[in-house]
Amino acid sequence: MSLNKAFLSLLQKGAEQQARLARRKKTCAESEFKQFLGLWNEEEAAVFDKSLKDQREIDTEQWS
């Protein structure tokens, strides 16, 4: 692969990634759940995550 082709390939990949990020950001901004985004501080989020810890563990005996 020539240096020009390699450069153009990297440039295209970077542009595609930027477009994906822009679409994702737009989707979040237009979300029907927008009113709920960013309402918890770190401590509240940690308490919530801790309360779900047992639900997130896989019981291997049930899946054997």
Is position 49 within any domain? yes
Q: How many structural domains does the chain have?
A: 1
Cβ neighbours for 1, distance < 8 A, ≥ 6 positions apart = 9
Is position 62 within any domain? no
Q: What pLDDT is stored for residue 43 in this prediction?
A: 94
Domain containing residue 31 = 3-56
Is position 48 within any domain? yes
Could you list the pLDDT tens digit for every one of the 64 residues in the chain? 898 888 889 889 988 988 888 777 766 667 777 777 778 889 999 999 999 988 888 888 888 7
The H or E element spanning position 33 is: none
Q: What pLDDT is stored for residue 61 in this prediction?
A: 86
Is position 26 within any domain? yes
Is position 61 within any domain? no
Is position 63 within any domain? no
